[in-house]
Structure 1
Amino acid sequence: MENTKILLLDDREENLISLKAILNRDDITIFATTSPNEALRIVWENEIAVALVDVQMPGMDGFEFAETLASNPKTREILIVFVTAISKETTFAVRGLKTGAIDYLYKPLDPYITNAKVDSLIRLARSQREIREKNRLLENYATIVTNSPDIICTVQADSGRILSINPSVKTILNLDPEKLINISMLDLLVEPMRSGLQSVLINQTYLSGDTIVVEDQFFGKFRQPVWLELRIMYKNRLLFINLHDIEKRKAHELALVEARSLADKSRKVKEAFLANMSHEIRTPLNGIIGIGNLLEATDLDSQQRELLEMLLHSSGSLLNILNDILDISKIDEGKFSILPTPTNLSVVGKGIVDLMRFKADEKRLQLSLSVDKEIPDSMLIDGMRLNQILMNLVGNALKFTHAGYVKLKIQHMGVSGDLHEVRFSVEDSGIGISEDRISAIFSAYGQATLETSHNYGGTGLGLTISQKLVLLMDSELKVASQFQKGSEFYFTVMLKDANQKQEKKSIVSFKSLTPYFGKKVLVAEDNHINSLLINKYLTTWLIDTTLVVNGKEAVDAVQNEEFDLIIMDTRMPEMDGFQAASFLRKELKVSTPILSLSATVLEEDLRQAIESGMNDTLSKPFEPVKLHEKIGKLLSISV
C-alpha cells in the first residue's frame, strides 16, 4: 500500500522535530516546514492526505492557511488538524472548525493521543480517497454507457424486467428508454418463446458465471426485425446485457448461404451436364474407335489403311477435345492431382515426335528432338501429364507453322542436391504471337486472334490445361514470341533421379490376347454399335456372351442363368446400371463380379458405381487390352 503523506507546519523548528519523532512510522511520508508559503507549494506538488498545522504563526496563521486550502478544489480534501497551545475556548474551536479543520491537538503533545488521532485520520483519508476513486469510475462508466453505440441495460434475472437502459435503444430500435423501465425484455422480441434470451432466463445458464452470448431478433423501426447480439453477465441477482447490432453481419451471412447454395446448384448442373455430354459423345466415339480397331485387324489395301488412319486420327482428335473440356473442369475444382512415377524423358519425347511425324511430313516441316545426355534415364515425374503437355505444345507448334521447323528440346540445366533442373521447350518458326495477345493465350478458350479458331480449329483449351498442369508441377509455362517469326514455349521443373529405366510399351492386337475359354459373361449395353463391338472382343477371346439392352433385362437374365462376370453400362433406359447392380447385390444377393462400363469419367459417377455394388470401372472409349485386363482381374474374385 502507498504511504500516506502528511504535512507538518509549525513556525518553531523544535516543534517539528518533536512531531517527526512522534510520527516516525514506515507507512507515513512526512513533509515538514516552518513556512506557510513553502507549505502551500508542498500541498500543490504532492497528494497530502493530512496536515498538522500550528495555529499561531507570523505572516499567515493556521486559520488563514486552512481557508486557503479550502478555497482550492485541488487541496480542499486535505484533512486539517490544528496544533495549538492556546486554551480550549469554544470560540477558537468553532473558528477552527469553520475554516475546515476536523480536530485539534494541544501542546504539549501526548504521543499516544497524537498517534491515535493520526491513525484515525489516515484511515479516514484512505476511505475518502477510495470513495472519490469509485465515484470517478462510476462517472466514467456512466459516460461510457450513455454514449455507447450499443444498447446497455440491467435486467432482473428472475423476471426479465428492464431496470435501466441507455439512449442507444432509441437509435437502434426506435424505442424511448424511459418507457422501457419495468417492461419485460422478452416483449421486445420477434419470437420470445423461441429466443436465446428466453432459454437463458428459463434454464438460468447465467448462474455459471460465464459471459453468455446469444443472438435474437428484436422489433425495430416500423416493426421491422433487427438482429442483435446479446452478451449477458450475471451479478447480484441482476443481468447486465450488452446488445450489439449485427443486422449487416446477418445479411452478409445470409448472402453467403445463398451464394453457397447457388454455387452448389450450379456445380450440380455443371456435373450433370458434363456427365451427360461425356456419355453422349463417348458412347458413339467408342463405337467409332472400336470399329476402327476391328478394321485394323483385317486385310486392308493401302488406300483403305490410309483412310482408316485418318478415321482413327480424327476420332483421337475428338477424344482429345472432350478430354480437354473435362480436364479443365476437374483442375478448376481441385479434383486433379499429379502422380510422379519413374519416367524415361527420352522415351516420352521420342514417342511424341514419332506420333506427330506424319503431321510434320504433311506440311513438309522439320520436326526434331534433342535430349541432353546428362539427364538420367529415369526421372520421377507424372509421365502421362508430361506427355499431355508436350503433345499440346508440339501440336500447337505444328498447327501454327507453315514453313521451317518445330524443335522439342529437353535440356539439363544443372543439379541442386538430389534434384535435377530440367527445361522442356518447344520452338517453332511459325506465325508467332503479337505482344498484345500473349497474355490471352493462357486463358480458357483464349486464342491469339478471333480468326485463329476458324482458321486453325481447336477449343483454345490446350494451353490453358498445359499451364494448369505445369503449375501443379510447381513450375510455370512461359512463352517468348515474335510476330511472324516464331515462338518458344518452355517450362523448368526440379526432378529426382528414379534410378530405373522405362521401357516403351508395345501395341498389342486384341486378337493375340489370352482367351478365356468357357467363361460366361453377361453384357448390358443399350448402344447397338458398342454392344456389337464388345461382343466381337469377347467372342474373339472365346467367351460365351449374352447381350441385353438395359438393367431390367440384366436382372431377369441373372435370375434365369449363372454368369462368371457381368459387364454393365451405367446409363440405360428402364433401369440403369447403378440401380441394377444395387438390386442384384441387396435384393438377389448375387455375388457375380460386375464391371461398370461407362461413358463418363467424372469421379462422382465412378464412386457411385462402386457404392452401388460394382467391383471395378472402365471408361469409354477403352482399349481392348484394358478390357481384357479388367476381365482377367475380375474373373478371379468373388463378392
Structure 2
Amino acid sequence: MRIEQYVQKGSFYKAVVEDGSDIIFVVDYNGKIHYHNASVLETLGYRAKSLIGKNFFDFVRPETVNDVTRQFKQSQKRAFTENVEFQFLCKDGDFRFLEFNAINLKHKEGLDGFILDCRDIMQRKENEAELVRLQKAKEQFLANMSHEIRTPINGIVGMANLLSQNPSPVERETYLSAIKHSAENLTVIINDILDLAAIESGKLKFEKIAFNLRDLLPSLISTFTYQAREKRIHVDYQIDDSLNKILLGDPVRLNQILINLVSNAVKFTHNGSIKIHCMAERETKGICWVKIEVEDTGVGIPQEKLNTIFESFSQADASVTRKYGGTGLGLTIVKQLVELQKGSITVRSKEHVGSTFSVRIPYAIGKADETSAPKNARAMKKAGAAKLFVLLVEDNDINRLYAKSVLKNWNCYTETAENGLVAIEKIKNQEYDVVLMDIQMPVMDGYETTRAIRMMETPARNVPIVALTANATKADVEKCIAAGMNDYLPKPFSPDDLYRKLFQDLRLTPKEKVKKAAGQNKLYNLDYLRSVSGNNEDFIREMVLTFTQTIPPVLDEMKVALDGKDWERLARMAHQIKPSFTLMGLNPLRSSILFIEENSKYSTKLDELPDVVSDFVRQCRVILPELAKEAVPA
C-alpha cells in the first residue's frame, strides 16, 4: 500500500483529524507532504490541500532545518516521538512555534512516513520568553539594588571612619554633609520599594484634602534649585489662571508624582531647560481635569523603549542605571499613582532632543474655606518646647542615641528601656506623656508590650503609644493600631517627622504631674504605712513628719554634689533616701532615685543626670509641703 492509498482509505477518525484543533500532517521520510487537515488555515493561513506535494522542510525556519532533519532521522528508528519543537512559515511570512508528536508509519503500516500531530505553542513560547525577560529584569533589579544600597552605605561608613580621625572643622562639615546625602539616597530607594509594594497589594489609600497648585508647586520646584544650578540648567514653571482654585484630592501623592518626573528631567538634562506647565484641560460637573506637562531638553528616550519605561524594574537601558543610578521604579510608581486616581500619563520623546511627560488627573473642585495655610514649623517648635516626659522603648543603641538626642533638643526628659519587659516595669512606677515603642525587640516585642500596657490600671493604660517601625506597609500599620497603639512613625525618621507626630498629629502637651499629686491623684500613697502600723495614725504622722524634715537637707546635698560632679557622693545620697520613698509610696519619684543612684555609682549617662536630678528635686519640693499636711492632726 502506498501512502496515497492510506490517506484515501481514511484510516484516522474525521472528528480528530479533519475537525480537530491540532494540525495534522502526513509526510514521508524525505519531508514530502501527502496530507494536512483544515486546521492549517486557522493557525498558519494556508487553504485546504494547498501544501500537499510540497516539502515540509521548506517551511521550517532555515537556521533550524538541520536540527529538525536530524530529529526526523532519529524518529525513523522509533515507533513514537514526542515534543519536537520547530518554527513553521505562515502564509503572512511570519514563523510560528509548533510542537509535533510523530507516529512512525513504518511500525504500523510498513510505510516510510509519519503522522505529525502538531500543536500551536506560540502562547507558551511567548510566556516563556516573558518569564525569561522578567527574570532578567528582576536579576538586573537586584543587581541595581545591591549597587544602589551598598553605595550610600559605603559612603556613610567611610565618612564615619574619617570623622573619627580628628578632621578639621571644614572637613567635618564636608563628611557630615556626605553622610546626610547618602542617608537621603538610601531612604529614597527604600521608599520606592515600599510604595510599589503598597500599590501592588492594593493597600494604598488616597486622601481627599483641599489644596491649591499655586501653593504646592513653588516649594516643590525650589527643592531642585541647587541641582539645576549645579548643572547650569534653567527650571521654570507656569500655572494657568484657570487653575487658581481649590482642588480636592491627595496633594502628597501629586507631589510624589511631580518629584519623580522633575527629578528624572533634572537627572537626564545636561544643558538647556526644564519647563513645568499646569493647566485646567476641562471642567465638567464639578470636576476639573488637571493637565501637567514636564518638558525637558535632555537625552531623550529611543522610540523602541517608550513602551517599557513604565514597567517595574525597567529603565530605557541597563547602562542608564550604571550611569545615573536609581531603582528603575520611579516611572512605574508614577503611572500607578496616576491611574489609581483615574488619570493617565503619556510621553513624547526624541533622542538627543528631549522628552515631555503629560499627566492628566481629575480633581473635584472645592471651596476657598476648605483649606487653611500650613503652620510655620519654627513657630510650632517654639510653642511646643515645654518638656515632655518620654519613655523610649528601643533595643538598638544607635537608634536610642539618635531619638534621645532629638528629644533633648526640645527639652524633653527621656527614659529608655531596651525591651518591653523593662518598659512595663518603668510604666508601673512612673507616669509618662508618651511612649515611643519599637516593634521588633528581644524578650517582649512592641505588640505584646502595648497589649500589656492597655490592660494596666489607669492612668498608665491611657498613655499615648507611638510605634517606631521599619515595617511601614499598610498591614504592619493596621497591626500596630490593632495592638492598641495610637499612631506610628516609619523608620528612618527625621527630627521634623518626629516633631510633627508628637506636637501636631497627637498634639501632646506635658502633664502637670506634680500638681496632680497635690490634687486628686497623689504621687504619694500611705497605704503601706497604714498596713505595717495597723492604721496607727500617730505612727503615720510621726513617720511623715520625720520624712518631710530630713529630706530637704539631703536634696540640698544632692544639688551640691551635682554642681561639683561628685558622682560618688550623689550616689550615696540617693541610696540613703531610697527606702524612705518606698515607705511613703512615692513610686513615681523612686524610679528617678534608682536612675540617679545607678548612674552616679558607675558614672554612666552623665549627660542626663543633671536634668534628672533637677527634675527630681523640683518635684520633691512641691510634694513635701503637701505631704506635711498628713502630719497635722485632724
TM-score by length of 2: 0.50
Contact 2:391 2:432 in 1 (8 A): yes
Residue 584 of structure 1: CA displacement?
2.8
Q: 1:627 to 1:502 in 2, by over 3 A?
A: closer
Residue 618 of structure 1: CA displacement?
2.2
Residue of structure 2 equivalent to 1:601: 472
1:322 aligns with 2:190: yes
Choose from 174, 185, 207 the match for 1:339: 207
Tell me how large the CA RMSD over aligned residues is. Answer: 3.3
Q: 1:494 to 1:301 in 2, by over 3 A?
A: farther
Q: 1:304 to 1:381 in 2, by over 3 A?
A: farther
Contact 2:239 2:277 in 1 (8 A): yes
1:155-199 deviation digits (Å, cap 9, x = unpaired): xxxxxxxxxxxxxxxxxxxxxxxxxxxxxxxxxxxxxxxxxxxxx
Residue of structure 2 equivalent to 1:427: 295
Return the alpha-carbon distance in structure 1 between the equivalents of residues 407 and 429 of structure 2.
21
Return the alpha-carbon distance in structure 2 between the equivalents of residues 380 and 511 of structure 1.
29
Q: Name the amino acid aligned to 1:387.
A: N
1:539-579 deviation digits (Å, cap 9, x = unpaired): 33333321121112112223344434322111112211111
Q: Name the amino acid aligned to 1:401.
A: T
Q: 1:584 to 1:339 in 2, by over 3 A?
A: closer
Return the alpha-carbon distance in structure 1 between the equivalents of residues 341 and 327 of structure 2.
24
1:268-297 deviation digits (Å, cap 9, x = unpaired): xxxxxxxxx9xxx9xx99xx9xxx9xx9xx
1:624 aligns with 2:498: yes
Choose from 382, 385, 390 the match for 1:515: 385
Greater shift after overlay, 593-602 or 359-368?
A: 593-602
Q: Name the amino acid aligned to 1:394.
A: V
Residue of structure 1 equivalent to 2:418: 549
Choose from 515, 518, 525 the match for 2:394: 525
Choose from 353, 357, 361 the match for 2:221: 353
Return the alpha-carbon distance in structure 1 between the equivalents of residues 415 and 421 of structure 2.
14
Return the alpha-carbon distance in structure 1 between the equivalents of residues 175 and 281 of structure 2.
44
Return the alpha-carbon distance in structure 1 between the equivalents of residues 383 and 262 of structure 2.
33
Greater shift after overlay, 602-611 or 318-327?
A: 602-611
Unaligned runs of 5+ residues in structure 1 are: 1-276
Contact 1:406 1:427 in 2 (8 A): yes
Return the alpha-carbon distance in structure 1 between the equivalents of residues 427 and 278 of structure 2.
55
1:278-317 deviation digits (Å, cap 9, x = unpaired): xxx9xx99xx9xxx9xx9xxxx988866665554343333
1:366 aligns with 2:234: yes
1:106-139 deviation digits (Å, cap 9, x = unpaired): xxxxxxxxxxxxxxxxxxxxxxxxxxxxxxxxxx
Secondary structure class of the residue paired with 1:408: strand
Return the alpha-carbon distance in structure 2 between the equivalents of residues 420 and 616 of structure 1.
34
Choose from 258, 267, 270 the match for 1:399: 267
Choose from 569, 588, 595 the match for 2:438: 569
1:584-621 deviation digits (Å, cap 9, x = unpaired): 33377741412222222122222222222323322223
1:458 aligns with 2:326: yes
Residue 526 of structure 1: CA displacement?
1.3
Q: Name the amino acid aligned to 1:474.
A: K
1:74-118 deviation digits (Å, cap 9, x = unpaired): xxxxxxxxxxxxxxxxxxxxxxxxxxxxxxxxxxxxxxxxxxxxx
Contact 1:434 1:483 in 2 (8 A): yes
Higher helix share: 2
Q: 1:499 to 1:332 in 2, by over 3 A?
A: same
Q: 1:310 to 1:365 in 2, by over 3 A?
A: farther
Return the alpha-carbon distance in structure 2 between the equivalents of residues 306 and 490 of structure 1.
39
Q: 1:362 to 1:505 in 2, by over 3 A?
A: farther
Secondary structure class of the residue paired with 1:493: strand
Return the alpha-carbon distance in structure 2 between the equivalents of residues 619 and 533 of structure 1.
15
Aligned pairs for 1:277-292 within 5 A = none
Contact 2:389 2:414 in 1 (8 A): yes
Q: 1:458 to 1:402 in 2, by over 3 A?
A: same
Aligned pairs for 1:461-472 within 5 A = 461-472=329-340
Aligned pairs for 1:182-197 within 5 A = none
Contact 2:433 2:508 in 1 (8 A): no
Q: 1:624 to 1:612 in 2, by over 3 A?
A: closer
TM-score by length of 1: 0.50
Q: 1:445 to 1:515 in 2, by over 3 A?
A: same
Residue 466 of structure 1: CA displacement?
0.2
Secondary structure class of the residue paired with 2:223: helix
Return the alpha-carbon distance in structure 2 between the equivalents of residues 432 and 505 of structure 1.
41
Residue of structure 1 equivalent to 2:124: none
Residue of structure 2 equivalent to 1:503: 373
Identity of aligned residues (%): 33
Return the alpha-carbon distance in structure 2 between the equivalents of residues 479 and 535 of structure 1.
47
Return the alpha-carbon distance in structure 1 between the equivalents of residues 290 and 507 of structure 2.
40
1:329-378 deviation digits (Å, cap 9, x = unpaired): 11111111222311111222211210011111111111111111121232
Choose from 427, 442, 459 the match for 1:558: 427
Residue of structure 2 equivalent to 1:580: 449
Residue of structure 2 equivalent to 1:381: 249
Return the alpha-carbon distance in structure 2 between the equivalents of residues 480 and 377 of structure 1.
29
Return the alpha-carbon distance in structure 1 between the equivalents of residues 438 and 487 of structure 2.
12
Aligned pairs for 1:66-465 within 5 A = 308=176, 310-465=178-333
Return the alpha-carbon distance in structure 1 between the equivalents of residues 444 and 453 of structure 2.
12
Q: Name the amino acid aligned to 2:392.
A: V
Return the alpha-carbon distance in structure 2 between the equivalents of residues 513 and 537 of structure 1.
17
Return the alpha-carbon distance in structure 2 between the equivalents of residues 541 and 401 of structure 1.
42
Unaligned runs of 5+ residues in structure 2 are: 1-144, 514-634
Aligned pairs for 1:30-69 within 5 A = none
Secondary structure class of the residue paired with 1:426: strand
Contact 1:349 1:408 in 2 (8 A): no
Return the alpha-carbon distance in structure 1 between the equivalents of residues 382 and 440 of structure 2.
31
Return the alpha-carbon distance in structure 1 between the equivalents of residues 256 and 432 of structure 2.
39
Residue 480 of structure 1: CA displacement?
0.3
Return the alpha-carbon distance in structure 2 between the equivalents of residues 485 and 392 of structure 1.
20
Q: Name the amino acid aligned to 1:441.
A: I
Return the alpha-carbon distance in structure 1 between the equivalents of residues 394 and 499 of structure 2.
19
Secondary structure class of the residue paired with 1:558: helix
Q: Name the amino acid aligned to 1:625.
A: Y
Q: 1:391 to 1:573 in 2, by over 3 A?
A: same
Q: Name the amino acid aligned to 2:407.
A: L
Residue 513 of structure 1: CA displacement?
4.8
Contact 2:386 2:411 in 1 (8 A): yes
Contact 1:524 1:554 in 2 (8 A): yes
Return the alpha-carbon distance in structure 1 between the equivalents of residues 232 and 287 of structure 2.
39
Q: 1:564 to 1:361 in 2, by over 3 A?
A: closer
Return the alpha-carbon distance in structure 1 between the equivalents of residues 475 and 198 of structure 2.
11
Return the alpha-carbon distance in structure 2 between the equivalents of residues 509 and 569 of structure 1.
29
Count the aligned residue pairs. 346
Q: Name the amino acid aligned to 2:467.
A: S
Secondary structure class of the residue paired with 2:442: coil
